[in-house]
Amino acid sequence: MILRATGLLAIGAFIGAGCTESPPPSNATPQSETVSAQDAQAGPIPVSVATTGAATLPANETFINIAKAARASVVNISSSRKVKQEGQPFGSPFDDPFFRRFFGDEFEKRFKAPRERERQEQGLGSGVIVSTDGYIVTNNHVVEQADEIKVLLGDKRSFKGKVIGTDPKTDLAVIKIDATDLPTLKWADSAQLQVGELVLAVGNPFGLNQTVTMGIISAVGRANMGIVDYEDFIQTDAAINPGNSGGALVNLKGELIGINTAIFSRSGGYMGIGFAIPSNMVRNVMNSLVKHGKVVRGWLGVSIQELTPDLAKEFGVADAQGALVADVLDDSPAAKAKLQRGDVIIAFNGVPVKDPSHLRSMVAETSPDTTSTVTVLRDKDKKDFKVTITELPKDLAKASKEGPESSKGEHALAGITVEENKDRSGKSRHRGGVVVTDVEPDSAAERAGVRPGDVILEINRKTVRTVADFDKLTGQLSAKTPVLLLINRGNATIFLSIAP
């Protein structure tokens, strides 16, 4: 179970990005400067820090110095909100059948008045000071819907916090306190992190202020976990518990590498698996929230899917890394750059693409109106395309979907029943294709994931417009021929590889 690492009265399970400027490399020369809140609104927030000289100090002194600097920059955040509740605290006499028998429903309607009560909910979390004039980064779930926010510094000073902006898609938020000359941490380049690096986690678990724990980076690039929309987590075994949410994860140079946000737990407490949002993503989101009041994300305009080993073989990709383009949206940056369905995006601006989540995060962090290089494999040939990224539209166009002729014979599509893709008036839908109405249990198509309601658009890269097209193409299939389907499902277009 994935839990938010926040100290709410009841810990709940998690059910479940970017801006324009890249962070400086981790070996950049430290700087110190102070800016006004007005200056900070105009651009990236400057930070101040002094290096620890970690490489030249004995191990014990190194940890002490890092912990001292990090603790000074990590704050305790307590939030509160009023929740209204209706109803009698111990039940209503009108709910008693005996009472209703003697007094009737009319008496209830005239005299029953629900009692509305207010209950105060409290939350505890952490935050990291990222500018000398009082900007603080934390998790969205720490301050979400809060009526009042109090910030306690490491030197025991207390301030009232104001929310500058929130981004639920990454679970990040920026708040501001009215203070100056505050201690901060230097930003690390999280793209350079290595599994096995020693790290320290600093926060306020269970309300225990300024707690420091140690561990290593267990993994990087954790995604597809269903915690938030944009995921690229650092996994660590440094102890993280409820109340650590929004706290700092720092390296042995005393640099901020991530914001602690969630834990995997079956008990509600530490089990050796914690997750932090990487500093590059944090910094981009923070700068956008401060400058625009929202997160401005880049948009490429493609529907992408993961490469399975079977799909990788079909498209000539050796290592099954990259993102397969299942569809290109009309009038999108990708369409204008001539990207095509079936392209495999293997690099974005020279950075190898690991999977669809990785590509999605890189595109989102690209500033609109930026010209980027998209490297694809098309028909097993490597090609570069220049694409001008635009801002992610508020409302993306949604593809339509509705949901007998049966394919016969011993081949990969045997057992699929289809019909014409028409609307209620009998007109063919603009995307064409045929609608799957039934899939035979335990058939190759069912095992590959074909479902009733799917719209088959292509078979082995050949267009299917009608049932006649479907019959003609399936009639050419042999018993041992694998089939590559392009289908429309809901708002997505995806490829499926089916082995007989």
Indicate whether 139 belongs to any domain. Answer: yes
Q: Is 171 a catalytic residue?
A: yes
398 lies in some domain: no
Are residue 286 and residue 387 in the same domain, yes or no?
A: no
Last residue of a domain, one of 292, 320, 336: 292
Co-location of 141 and 179 in the same domain: yes
Does 245 participate in catalysis according to the annotation?
yes
- Domain end among 391, 415, 440: 391
Is 428 assigned to a binding site? no
- Whether 91 and 139 share a structural domain: no
Residue with tokens 């001539």: 338
Domain-embedded: residue 233:
yes
Q: Binding residue per annotation — 284? A: no
141 is in an annotated binding site: yes
The count of domains in the chain is: 4
Residues 328, 213 within the same domain:
no
63 and 100, same structural domain?
Answer: no
Q: Which of 73, 126, 131, 141 is catalytic?
A: 141
Q: What is the dihedral of CA 322, 451, 299, 138, to 10 degrees?
A: -90
Same domain, 36 and 171: yes
For residue 200, tell me if it sits in a domain.
Answer: yes
pLDDT of residue 357: 86
Q: Which of 26, 126, 131, 171 is catalytic?
A: 171
Whole-angstrom CA distances from 415 to 346, 440, 468 are: 35, 5, 17
Residues of the chain with pLDDT under 50: 7-55, 88-91, 94, 98-99, 101, 113, 396-409
The predicted structure's pLDDT at residue 94 = 47
Give me the domain span that covers residue 415. Answer: 405-498
Compute the CA torsion angle 64, 70, 73, 75 (nearest 10 deg): -100
Both 185 and 72 in one domain: the answer is yes
| Long-range contacts of the stretch 377-381 (C-beta < 8 A, 24+) | 377/315, 377/316, 377/317, 377/322, 377/343, 377/344, 377/346, 378/340, 378/342, 378/343, 378/344, 379/316, 380/315, 380/316
Q: 495 and 489 in contact (C-beta within 8 Å)?
A: no
- CATH number for the domain that contains residue 144: 2.40.10.120
- List phi, psi (to 5°) of 309: -55, -40
Pick the last residue of a domain from 121, 148, 179: 121
139 annotated to bind ligand: no
Q: Are residues 64 and 156 in the same domain?
A: yes
Residue 430 a catalytic site member: no
- Classify burial at 406, counting beta carbons within 10 Å of its beta carbon; exposed 0-12, middle 13-18, buried 19 or more: middle
pLDDT digits (tens, 9 = 90+) for 364-404: 889 899 999 999 999 889 999 999 999 888 754 233 322 23
CATH number of the domain where residue 316 is located: 2.30.42.10
Residue 400 covered by a domain: no
Within this chain, do residues 313 and 190 fall inside the same structural domain, yes or no? Answer: no
**445 domain residue, yes or no:** yes
**Per the annotation, does 244 bind a ligand?**
yes
Domain-located, residue 48: yes
| Residue 255 and residue 184 share a domain | yes
The string of pLDDT tens digits covering residues 120-162 is 667 789 999 999 999 999 999 999 888 899 999 988 999 999 9
Alpha-carbon distance 385 to 336, whole Å?
10
Half-sphere exposure of 258 (CA within 13 A, CB side): 34
| Pair 232, 274 in one domain | yes
- Other CB atoms within 10 A of residue 306 CB: 16
Residue 396 lies in a domain: no
| pLDDT recorded at residue 71 | 93
User: What is the radius of gyration, based on Cα positions, of the chain?
Assistant: 28
Same domain, 180 and 269: yes
Q: Which of 245, 361, 407, 497 is catalytic?
A: 245
User: For residue 23, which amino acid is it?
Assistant: P
Can you spell out the DSSP letters for 45-70? PP-------GGGS-HHHHHHHHHHHH
